[in-house]
Amino acid sequence: MAIFVDQNTKVIVQGLTGGQGRFHGLRNKAYGTQVVGGVTPGKAGQDVEGIPVFDSVADAVAATGANASFIAVPPKAAPAAILEAARAGIGFVVCITEGVPAQDEARVFATLQRDYPATRLLGPNCPGIISPGKCNIGITAGEIAQLPSASGPNVGIVSRSGTLTYQALYELKQQGIGVSTCVGIGGDPVPGTSFVDCLAQFQADPETHAIIMIGEIGGSAEEEAAEFITNHVTKPMSAYIAGVTAPAGKKMGHAGAIVSGGKGTAQGKMDALRAAGVQIGLNPTEAGILMAEIVRTIRS
């Protein structure tokens, strides 16, 4: 098992004929993901290396039975693309687009919640999701993800930052630890999927035995995760929070990564997670080593 996506997930790429959509869509397909179609208005009937292109998500769904979408379109077009996927009945939408205005994100999230509760959005501004050996949607280099082992133990990864997601995958691969699913939720102010959403899924997933979480400064998502862990997560966890030394009032690259009014500090987040029983690494490697110890304990 895995969370959100597996070998049965059928993906369409919104923006398949664009630079990013084509590059990553084809890579995802080469990894073994069922990429069954693409959507670009006005380009129905064309194909991208054998992947058929449709005018609308609804047409693509009707023709292919797709249940997931990978959105790689510019920020201006991303909100409408997300809602189009939801309207067409897509259950899982991954949006990698960077630079979507926060007001648009808030409106899209509220619209999904009210009108399309069956649709889950991952992102925007996220690296995507990979269930190693089964499905890879987004920009993750599949080869750095260790396949899960049938006998376990396997680790679930959830992270706000792209490169630190890769770093976490890499640390686990170095340690020879299998990954059930790795979810990059993205660093924007209103992510469609939160730490808590992923933790709930990992807790319920029989193939996930431990969880590694990579957070960063800004907002209160890590504190909310800590509260959820205290009440609902029994699987062992390690975590790392980036931005201990980030100065207040400066956005560190991600729209969401800012310490403001003394809130959202790395220290506060680490304290909250520690109190919830999570082992905290002071850098990504330490979090990986802590996870290796956890896995050794589970094995023995």
Partner 1 sequence: MDLFEYQGKQYFAKYNIPVSAGGVATTVDEAVAVAATAKYPVVVKAQVQVGGRGKAGGIKLANDEAEVRLHAKNILGMDIKGHVVKRVWVEHASDIAEEYYASFTLDRAAKQHLLMLSAQGGVEIEDVAAKDPTAIVKLHINPIDGLSLETARRASVEAKIPAQALDGVADMLVKLYNCFTQGDCDLAEINPLILKPTGEIHALDAKVSLDVNASFRHPEWAEYAATEELDAREQLAREKNLQYIGLDGTVGIIANGAGLAMSTLDVVNQVGGTAANFLDIGGGANAELMTAALEVINSDPKVKSILINIFGGITRGEEVAKGIVEAVKRVALRAPIVIRLDGTNADEGRKILADAGIPESQLTSRPTMLEAARAAVEMAK
Q: For partner 1, which residue of 190, 210, 290, 292 counts as binding (CB under 8 A)?
A: 190
CA distances from 204 to 62, 95, 293 (A): 31, 25, 22
Catalytic residue among 24, 209, 232, 254: 254
214 close to 165: Cβ distance less than 8 angstroms: yes
- Does 107 bind partner 1 (CB under 8 A)? Our answer is yes
- Does 217 bind partner 1 (CB under 8 A)? Our answer is yes
215 close to 187: Cβ distance less than 8 angstroms: no
Size of the site for partner 1 (CB under 8 A): 60
State the sign of the Cα–Cα–Cα–Cα dihedral 33, 34, 40, 41: negative
Question: Closest separation between CB of residue 299 and partner 1, Å?
Answer: 25
Q: For partner 1, which residue of 67, 159, 193, 265 counts as binding (CB under 8 A)?
A: 159
24 is catalytic: no
Beta strands 51-54 and 47-48: pairing type?
antiparallel
Beta strands 178-184 and 128-131: pairing type?
antiparallel
How far is Cα 36 from Cα 29, in angstroms, rounded to an integer?
A: 9
Question: Closest separation between CB of residue 16 and partner 1, Å?
Answer: 17
3-class DSSP state for residue 206?
coil
- Does 19 bind partner 1 (CB under 8 A)? Our answer is no
How far is Cα 109 from Cα 111, in angstroms, rounded to an integer?
A: 5
- Does 277 bind partner 1 (CB under 8 A)? Our answer is no
How far is Cα 123 from Cα 71, in angstroms, rounded to an integer?
A: 10
- Angle, to 10 degrees, between the axis of helix 284-299 and the axis of helix 162-174? 40
Question: Closest separation between CB of residue 285 and partner 1, Å?
Answer: 6
Question: Closest separation between CB of residue 11 and partner 1, Å?
Answer: 18
* Smaller CB separation from partner 1, 87 or 107: 107
Question: Closest separation between CB of residue 196 and partner 1, Å?
Answer: 11
For 71, the token pair is: 């959105």
- Does 250 bind partner 1 (CB under 8 A)? Our answer is yes
- Does 15 bind partner 1 (CB under 8 A)? Our answer is no
Residues 39-78 that bind partner 1 (CB under 8 A): 75-76
* Smaller CB separation from partner 1, 15 or 187: 187
Residues 116-155 that bind partner 1 (CB under 8 A): 139-141, 143-144
3-class DSSP state for residue 79?
helix
Sheet of strand 92-95, all strands in order from the earlier edge strand to the far edge: 47-48, 51-54, 34-39, 10-14, 68-71, 92-95, 120-122
Alpha carbon 39 to its chain centroid, in Å, reads 22
- Does 166 bind partner 1 (CB under 8 A)? Our answer is yes
How far is Cα 282 from Cα 280, in angstroms, rounded to an integer?
A: 6
Backbone torsion region of residue 49, taken as left when φ is above 0, otherwise alpha when ψ lies between -120 and 50, otherwise beta: left
- Does 102 bind partner 1 (CB under 8 A)? Our answer is yes
- Does 187 bind partner 1 (CB under 8 A)? Our answer is yes
- Does 244 bind partner 1 (CB under 8 A)? Our answer is yes
Q: Which stretch binds partner 1 (CB under 8 A): 51-59, 79-87, 243-251, 269-277?
A: 243-251
Q: List residues binding partner 1 (CB under 8 A).
A: 27, 75-76, 99-104, 106-107, 109-111, 114, 139-141, 143-144, 159-167, 170, 187, 189-190, 214, 216-217, 219-221, 224, 240, 242-247, 250, 252-257, 261, 266, 282-285
Residues with catalytic roles? 254
